Structure 1
Amino acid sequence: MKFIKSKILTTVMLLLTVIMYIFVLVLTVRTSQQTVDIRTPYMFLEGEYSIDDAEFKAFDPNEPINEPFKKIVFRGRFNKEKRAHFKEIAFTTKNMWYTMYTEDHEVICTNSYMTLDERVQQYFEGSSEEEIAEKREDHIKYLRKAQPFKFNMPDTPGYSTEYIFVEDMIEAFPDPDSEFEIVFTNPYDHTPANFSDLFTVTLSEGNGIHLRILRNVMPLVLLLAIVCMFGLFFFPVASFILGKINFNYLSFGIMCFSWGLYMIMQISGSFLGCWITDGSVCLFIDRMTAYLFSVSLVVYFRSYLTKHISRTVSGIMTVCVTIAVMVSAVLHIFAVSDMVVTGAYVNIIMGLTAAVFIILLSSEMKSSRTALLSMIMWTPMIIGLILDILNQFISFSSLHFFTYGLAVTMLAQIVQIIFDLRKQRLEAIRYQQIQKELYEAKVSIMVSQIRPHFMYNALSSIAMLCKIKPDTAYEATIKFSDYLRGNMDSLKQTAPVPFKKELEHLEKYLYIEKLRFGKKLNIEYDIQADSFEIPLLSVQPLVENAVKHGVGMKEDGGTVTIATKETDDSFEIVISDDGVGFDVNEVKDDGRSHIGMENTKRRLKEMCGADIEITSAIGEGTTARIIIPKVKEETE
């Protein structure tokens, strides 16, 4: 029933997701058909540029500028074709200041730091004193609410979005040969970045940047949202459905969710300024998604480590990374230092952590197939990261190899986890089948152990004792009722029980048999180990055979010995007798059913991984040995 409900829930979620995705795709296609052309050059001017006050050189607006810079200056014209064809210029920037000038060095637009008073003064420029007095406080409240960090972080440009209307530009500068100059400044000395990674342009007849998001960004965002949904619901829920909390699946679900958010920010982070007016908030959101993914990645890697020393070291490194991320976030929130500045130190800690984890995983590859498989699957991401580092120095491609390598790695991980879940599900189904069979087997064992003639013999012995030894008869009655209660309780018991409990039940059974056989039956115990578990009523069939078919068949009786011991890798239960014995190679056809013994062997094997070894010699006796392997403690 649990599986049916989970299938229905999963199917409904997938159908809703598919319907939503198809709806957005249809909307995107219709919008594309109804709107005019949108162009996305790397610069809207045509002319030349200079990096860090070097000589000016020509550039192609349709080619990216993959050069790091502290200061980059563009100067050129907005040509006639663009003036005639487009009505709006929209551009976004990340973590850099900029100012656009006319030929006369008049400011057209800018993203530069202004104090709160300067911003208010600019807003009320040309207003009357009465209007300023009436609206000043309300406007200050609005600015503090709309831009909570901006005025307290003078060195943080954050993310911004600027709109320039071509009609206004033509009205102000009718000459198509008018030249403009844009100066971009990177305020971060330790974080060089390629210009085209920080700057995007959209030319359109109106609302171009939003249409660009709908056309190019939204389908990918929706796909990644599905990945987030899988991470947030499918893998953790699947873990619970399978009957136990699997830390590996939970950590992968969190990592899958955070990877989806990280990739969404990689695709759409440049456009956050369209909706969030405080650029430093955009920066905070973008960086936190990257840090969240990094922390979840560390936690997931740790789930593959099994050695105690590896888990201890990895736990310390995980705590260090988490603390570094939290400190960076707190410093940004309280406007002490933004996350670009502190990010350099966080990245150093993460780099050290990555190196430590690679060493730890490498050390476990020989003994752990899981660690080896993990290293193989994360190879594309590592190669992508190395190529990106080399690209910073050699500049051989505009691609971000890390993003593609990470995507390949995550897809491989998702496929592996899905196959693992399928395997776990099949094992869970098999476990349910085994439980059903075990229940039927226990019913069979209970019925076989409460045979009518055994009850008749026990009751007859108690009846005789009532006349000659009433106190012993009373004690025997209590023992017999406890024995019957133990047999009935076995129907409810699905898990193994401590050996001590099984031994108590055996003592009650042997007490009753002792009443019947008297001095012909001797019982000896040599219990050297009892700190292990065993299926309930799994030893009694062997003891019963020793009594009934061993010493019970011997004219002068004999001794049944129950012993236990512990070895390096197992626990052993030995039931021996000095009865008549039998030929182990001869299959008896004595009309007796051996179903009970076969069920006992199967229960021991499936519930404890135990084996039964039986040796016997005619005239010397029989020894039955139950070997229970020790179970290694599962690491978290």
Structure 2
Amino acid sequence: MKNNTKAFILTGTLGILLLFAFLFVWTAVSYQTEAVDTESAKVSIIGEYTTDGESWNKIQSSNDFINDNYETVTFRGRLSQDIPKNQYLIISMCDVWVEIKADGEVVATNHYDTGASTITPGNSIAYVSADEIPNITEIELTISNPYTVFSGFNPIQDTLNRLTVGNKDTLYNDLLKNNTPAILISLAICFLGLFAFTLAGLLWKNVMIRNIALALMAITGGVYVLTDSIYTYLPLWIGNPVLCMVFDEFAAYLLPIAAFLYVRVNVEDKRCKGYISILIIVSILLTMAAVFLQLFGVMDILKSQIFVFPFILLGSMGSTICLIYEAFKLKSKNSRAVLISVCPLVVAGLIDFINSLTGFTQDRVFIRLGLLITVVIQIYLLLRETREHQKELLRYQELQNEMLQMRVSIMVSQIQPHFLYNSLTSIAQLCEKNPSKAKKATIEFSEYLRRNMNSLKEQAPVPFESELKHLETYLSLEKMRFGDELNIEYDIEATDFLIPSLTVQPLVENAVKHGVGMKEDGGTVTIATKEFDDRYEVIVSDDGVGFDTAKKPNDGRTHIGMENVRNRLKTMCNAVLNIESTVGKGTVATITIPKEEI
């Protein structure tokens, strides 16, 4: 039934994901089919240009500016095509200052002054109508790059490549046409994060911090991929150019913080946890500083990457070293699994960082792929761990049943018919000879039975004092039967420890019945406890007939009791039972309980 429930949840969730993807693609295709008239047309400038105030040169192609890191480029000439009526020249101004003039008049610019935060151009879109740029009009386009510090950053070329002619709906059409795969990937990553969180909550009946961290990393990663892929289209919904940039950079800064948090909850070594905790705190402080410095006009948030990203890169390498240390030095299977899953993300981040410096590609595609691989691997590991968790639950339930059976067996073994008969017979005889002693014996007998019955409810070790009190009650009843033939001695040096219920009594019972009870003139049973630096010991000894430990007893008994005692001691407190005996001299049974298990 449980397997069917898991399969239903998994199948249903994946089905919803596929349905969501289908509806999105279908909507995109339908929108494009119904909006044929919104298709955009790329335009260029025919004429000449000057760079940083130098001489004018003929424009060959926008690709002339791929690897040139100019501060200012001015173009003059005319558009490669006229602007149709009811349409616009669309200028996407991303991370550059732009000013366009027609016949010497400024018709579009992002040079604004709305406060200290305007030290950055941000991201905005300008629409210039055909009325503002009539046919065969000479225009002058000036593009200024405030980020020459980034050698792999080409905002001038990107601005030229994004010059289009169309109506105000064309950008929506371009968004769906050019970015559908990236959008689907980002939504899939976010959905997988929610899926991981939901799966853990539904199947494990609780919410583990590790799965919350996984969901957080996936969701922040999905948001980052989404904002990075549709960055040029953010002004369609966000009117403030600076806010567009802050939103995009903030998403980029949150992803490593979430990744650090995920690694933090998976490592076990205290030093590794402390190191990654410092990474998380410093990353959060750097992110907050970058945002506030932008808002107060002290530093452009995009330029803060010079300080933030190297720290994040070094932190990622340090976190990876922590995982390697735990995976191979400490032999942690969990750290090894996390290491395998985050490696694609770390490697992809390193490649994209190098790309930002060298510009060997125009898009940060590696981080998207690395993030997707990481999330998929983590989902696989989560499913595998969930299956193992279910197996552990079954094993735990089986162990609990076995423990219950052990307690029942031990209780039954302590209430053998002959013990009941002997005790009741002795009490009956005392009723005539010594009524007050008979009353005391009846109360002790009742207390003994009550303690044995209550042991069925004990699922955890009990204080030794409680076990000792029960032993005293049992031995008092046996003393009533054996009289002077049974001597009891106590040498109790320590009582401040725990022990499984009814694990000492079987040892005492064997000492009485099969030790001194088999000796003609009786003997002495001694119960002692000792405390050492690393352990406690409970010692039950007798000077009875003893037995040969090398030979299997042939007394017609099953000897299940001792095995139950050994298993309960080992399972509940990692204790060990050792029995030594010499024929004719007696037996010594020692329970050793490690202190760290108490």
Counterpart CA distance in 2 for 1:552 and 1:390 is: 85
Which one-letter code corresponds to 1:366 in the other structure?
A: K
Same amino acid, percent of matched pairs? 35
Deviations 1:493-552 (A, max 9, x none): 334445554444444434433443344444455556666554433443333333333333
Of 299, 307, 330, the match for 1:367: 330
Decide which moves more: 56-65 or 10-19. Answer: 56-65
- Give the aligned partner of residue 144 of structure 1: none
- Give the aligned partner of residue 17 of structure 1: 17
Counterpart CA distance in 1 for 2:41 and 2:497 is: 72
Residue 380 (1) aligns with residue 379 (2): no
Deviation at 1:274, TM superposition (A): 0.8
**Number of residue equivalences:** 590
Counterpart CA distance in 2 for 1:351 and 1:98 is: 33
Residue 323 (1) aligns with residue 273 (2): no
Deviation at 1:110, TM superposition (A): 1.5
Deviations 1:38-93 (A, max 9, x none): 8889975467766655675756458993555543445565334x868995654534
Structure 1's 241 and 185: CA in aligned 2 closer, same or farther, altered over 3 A? same
Deviation at 1:277, TM superposition (A): 0.8
- Give the aligned partner of residue 307 of structure 1: 269
Counterpart CA distance in 2 for 1:608 and 1:322 is: 43
Counterpart CA distance in 2 for 1:358 and 1:2 is: 37
Deviation at 1:585, TM superposition (A): 4.0
Deviations 1:343-369 (A, max 9, x none): 554446545644654554455441243
- Correspondences of 1:254-403 after superposition (within 5 Å): 254-330=216-292, 339-340=301-302, 342=304, 344-347=306-309, 349-351=311-313, 353-354=315-316, 356-358=318-320, 360-361=322-323, 363-364=325-326, 365-369=328-332, 370-398=334-362, 400=364, 401-403=366-368
- Give the aligned partner of residue 173 of structure 1: 134
Give the unaligned 5+ runs of structure 2: none
- Give the aligned partner of residue 430 of structure 1: 395
Structure 1's 261 and 486: CA in aligned 2 closer, same or farther, altered over 3 A? farther
Counterpart CA distance in 2 for 1:72 and 1:262 is: 31
Deviation at 1:275, TM superposition (A): 0.7
Deviations 1:284-311 (A, max 9, x none): 3223322322222222222343333443
- Give the aligned partner of residue 142 of structure 1: none
Structure 1's 361 and 616: CA in aligned 2 closer, same or farther, altered over 3 A? same
Counterpart CA distance in 1 for 2:457 and 2:194 is: 36
Counterpart CA distance in 1 for 2:43 and 2:574 is: 70
Structure 1's 620 and 280: CA in aligned 2 closer, same or farther, altered over 3 A? farther
- Give the aligned partner of residue 31 of structure 1: 31
Residue 453 (1) aligns with residue 418 (2): yes
Q: Secondary structure at 2:20's aligned position in 1?
A: helix
Structure 1's 463 and 315: CA in aligned 2 closer, same or farther, altered over 3 A? farther
Structure 1's 567 and 5: CA in aligned 2 closer, same or farther, altered over 3 A? farther
- Correspondences of 1:486-497 after superposition (within 5 Å): 486-497=451-462
Of 201, 210, 233, the match for 1:248: 210
- Give the aligned partner of residue 125 of structure 1: none
Counterpart CA distance in 2 for 1:613 and 1:192 is: 74
Counterpart CA distance in 1 for 2:420 and 2:458 is: 23
Which one-letter code corresponds to 1:111 in the other structure?
A: N
Residue 78 (1) aligns with residue 44 (2): no
Counterpart CA distance in 2 for 1:63 and 1:461 is: 112
- Correspondences of 1:111-126 after superposition (within 5 Å): 111-115=110-114
Structure 1's 481 and 59: CA in aligned 2 closer, same or farther, altered over 3 A? farther
Which one-letter code corresponds to 2:109 in the other structure?
A: T
Q: Secondary structure at 1:98's aligned position in 2?
A: strand
- Give the aligned partner of residue 184 of structure 1: 143
Deviations 1:213-241 (A, max 9, x none): 33443554344334334434534762685
Structure 1's 99 and 626: CA in aligned 2 closer, same or farther, altered over 3 A? farther
Structure 1's 485 and 362: CA in aligned 2 closer, same or farther, altered over 3 A? same
Counterpart CA distance in 1 for 2:219 and 2:386 is: 18
Which one-letter code corresponds to 2:162 in the other structure?
A: V
- Correspondences of 1:155-166 after superposition (within 5 Å): 155-164=119-128
Q: Secondary structure at 2:124's aligned position in 1?
A: strand
- Correspondences of 1:220-235 after superposition (within 5 Å): 220-232=182-194, 234-235=196-197
User: Are 1:46 and 1:61, in contact at CA under 8 Å, matched by a contact in 2?
Assistant: no
Counterpart CA distance in 2 for 1:46 and 1:590 is: 110
User: Are 2:73 and 2:142, in contact at CA under 8 Å, matched by a contact in 1?
Assistant: yes
- Give the aligned partner of residue 524 of structure 2: 558
Counterpart CA distance in 1 for 2:70 and 2:593 is: 69
User: Are 2:545 and 2:585, in contact at CA under 8 Å, matched by a contact in 1?
Assistant: yes
User: Are 2:38 and 2:170, in contact at CA under 8 Å, matched by a contact in 1?
Assistant: yes
Counterpart CA distance in 2 for 1:245 and 1:439 is: 29
Q: Secondary structure at 1:622's aligned position in 2?
A: strand
Residue 412 (1) aligns with residue 377 (2): yes
Counterpart CA distance in 1 for 2:474 and 2:296 is: 74
- Give the aligned partner of residue 586 of structure 2: 621
Which one-letter code corresponds to 1:450 in the other structure?
A: I
User: Are 1:614 and 1:622, in contact at CA under 8 Å, matched by a contact in 2?
Assistant: yes
Counterpart CA distance in 2 for 1:287 and 1:27 is: 29
Residue 442 (1) aligns with residue 443 (2): no
- Give the aligned partner of residue 134 of structure 1: none
Counterpart CA distance in 1 for 2:41 and 2:503 is: 78
